[in-house]
Amino acid sequence: MLRPVSGQGRRGTGSFGYLFHMCFNRYRHGCRGGPALSEQGAAGRWPTKLRRQLAAAPGPGAVQAIEDKERRRWVAAAIQILVSDGYPIAALAAKTSDPEAVIRRAFGGRRASTLRRRVRTWRRVRSWLLASGYPVIPVGDVGAAHISEYLGELASGGCGATTPKYVRAALGFFASCGGIALSDRSSDHVLVAGTVKDLEREIEQRSGTEVKKAPHFPVRVLASLETAVVSPDLQRYKRVLAWYKLLRVWGGAQVRRLAARVPGGGQVGRARPVPTDRLVQGQWAR
């Protein structure tokens, strides 16, 4: 019988057991509404405070409350940047009775993770602009030249291949939410777009790796893989291979956002604890 590593004695972050329990904990809590594996003495640990809070949440309602709180935190951080730097939307909102509420609506339905990435990325760009004596609101041709210079310094310092893309996304995010006119947005400038493409190619060539998109599996393929995992007639190596592919798919999916919902508005019932060896055999408790 295949048994993943469990218990308190093996907690290496590179071990198979650690990866298994992380992914299983995420899938089980997000889709089944069950308790975190940490309550059962498993070796899974979440890398961030937010994920630890989500893992310990008692149900979908608590998960949503934690996510809403995190989103309000990063919305407030983004509003602070827009107001302190003097974006056009701040002056427009100042003419209303509730300026903060007006600016908050400019962020639309963006998730907390998106807001967090944009704010943290732009804070670094903003610090560089201030240290260089450039305006903190890059607009037009001059702003595009400043951003291109910043991207060049990032690449020379050894950044990742996706970092230029994130910088451009943060630039466009604050320009859009801040009320910058379309004709003045540096994120859409041909210089910035060309710099991002060129640096991505340069960094990939330097590192010797090529950025590849994750494969998209049709639902039929996923169903076939799940059937293969629980089929006792298949050879063990085929079942292990199918289980490994499913582990990668569900481990990278944001299944906790399903909030234990099923099509038609129904709710998935709370699951009872299942030993990890029964999980490999496909005997899910419902």
pLDDT at position 199 is 92
- Percentage of residues in the chain having pLDDT higher than 90: 38
pLDDT at position 190 is 95
pLDDT at position 22 is 57
pLDDT tens, position by position, for the chain (286 residues)?
Answer: 333 333 333 344 444 555 555 555 555 444 444 444 343 333 344 456 666 666 766 777 777 787 888 889 999 999 999 999 999 999 999 999 999 899 999 998 888 889 999 999 999 999 999 999 999 999 999 999 999 999 999 888 888 888 999 999 999 999 999 999 999 999 999 999 999 999 988 888 877 655 555 567 788 888 888 899 999 888 888 899 888 888 877 776 654 444 444 455 444 444 444 343 443 344 443 3
DSSP three-state, residue 141: helix
- pTM score above 0.75: no
Query: In the numeric block, which tokens belong to residue 64?
Result: 């949503």
**What is the Cα–Cα distance from 68 to 182, expressed in whole angstroms?**
30
DSSP three-state, residue 185: strand
* 93-116 pLDDT per residue, tens: 999 999 989 999 999 888 888 999
pLDDT at position 79 is 94
Count CB neighbours of 253 within 10 A: 15
pLDDT at position 121 is 95
Q: Which residues of 75-87 are buried (b: 16+ CB within 10 A; e: fewer)?
A: bebbbebbbebeb
Query: In the numeric block, which tokens belong to residue 136?
Result: 């903190």
Give the domain ranges of the chain: 16-59+214-280, 63-207
Answer left, alpha or beta for residue 112, where phi above 0 means left and psi between -120 and 50 means alpha.
alpha
Torsion of CA 121, 176, 164, 209, to 10 degrees: 110
CB 103 within 8 A of CB 82: yes
Which residue's entry shows tokens 């990742």?
A: 160
pLDDT at position 283 is 41
**What is the Cα–Cα distance from 131 to 128, expressed in whole angstroms?**
5
User: 242: number of CA atoms within 13 Å, CB side?
Assistant: 21
Query: In the numeric block, which tokens belong to residue 232?
Result: 């006792």
Q: For 6-111, where are the alpha helices, taking DSSP H only? A: 16-27, 49-56, 60-85, 88-93, 99-105
DSSP per position, 67-82: HHHHHHHHHHHHHHHH
